Every structure is written in structure tokens, then in C-alpha cells.
Structure 1
Amino acid sequence: MQKLLTTKEVAEILRMRIETITRKAEQGLLPAIKVDGRWRIPEDRLEQWFKEKESASPMGIGQKQFRPITLKTFKLGASDSTYRREEIYQD
């Protein structure tokens, strides 16, 4: 029989909060089953899920992707008007 991990064990392995693991299990984003009202994650399916996520992400797991932004320049000094985000940032 395969080993079933608790949400706490998976949270420690993935360095996430237990609540995050539970939410991912409820949403079907993590391979989990409910046993007596508690979420359990089969160890072999977790390893497979982790490998799939790692290969799907070009930067790897846990690394954030940033996109450059360009800021408009303004004269120094007080301004009488209010600017919206769209007027300041050029995404």
C-alpha cells in the first residue's frame, strides 16, 4: 500500500502553509483524497505532480517572473492634479 501524507507533511515538504495545501486539495489543484474527512496526499502522486509542475515552468518552482515596466517622467515639484495608474505606468 502506498504511503499517504498529511497536509502538514506536504506543507513542510513544499514549504507552504497547511491552509494553502488544503485549499489546493479542495480545488483539485493537488492530487489528494479525503479519508475520514481529512485530506491525504499519496506520496508517489505528489512526486509525479511536483515533476510535472517543475517541467511545465521554465523558471522552476518557487521563482517569480517579473516583467519590466516603463515609468513616465514628470517635472519635480508639487502637482495640482491626481494621476491614475494608467497615466503613470506603461505596461
Structure 2
Amino acid sequence: MVGSWRLYYTAQAQKDAKKLKYAGLKEKAEKILKTLEQNPFEPPYEKLTGDFEGAYSRRINIQHRVVYQVLKKQRAVKVIRLYTHYE
């Protein structure tokens, strides 16, 4: 598909995906991931600082977020976390 971005998942993100299913947040996270495939810079997103400087996040709910890094040259999105960045 023209204009799409490739998604890659860290080992932690793969573990987090299992937690989402049991927390009832899988559908909302999947919607966010589809948005990232189309345009990782479409608002709303937040630029992160500290340990995740250079990464972005989008809210799944008030506590949990999708944390990701955009690799422009590869036209890819590296999904770092899928559950929360507060753990």
C-alpha cells in the first residue's frame, strides 16, 4: 500500500500485547496501530523525554499508552511498549 509505514515490535511490546487482551484494551490499541501504519505523525501524539527521549506516545486510555519510535529512512515504526510507559 502506498503511503503506509511498516511496524516492528520489540520483545517487550510483544509481551505487552498479551496484557492488552486481558485488560480489554486490544481493540483500541489495534486502532492506534492502524493509524501508525498510515501516518505516525497524525495528532494526537506526545513527544517523550527521559528514558524514552526521541520516542512518541499515544494514549490507549488514561493509564496505558503505545510508545513508539519513527524510523524515517526505513519508513518504519518501532513499537517499544503497548501497555504503559509508567512501569
The two structures have a TM-score, normalised by structure 1, of: 0.27
Instruction: Give the number of the structure whose residues are more often strand, by fraction.
Output: 2
Q: Higher relative CO (CA 8 A, sep ≥ 6), structure 1 or 2?
A: 2
Name which one, 1 or 2, has greater alpha-carbon Rg: 1
The two structures have a TM-score, normalised by structure 2, of: 0.28
Instruction: Give the number of the structure whose residues are more often helix, by fraction.
Output: 1
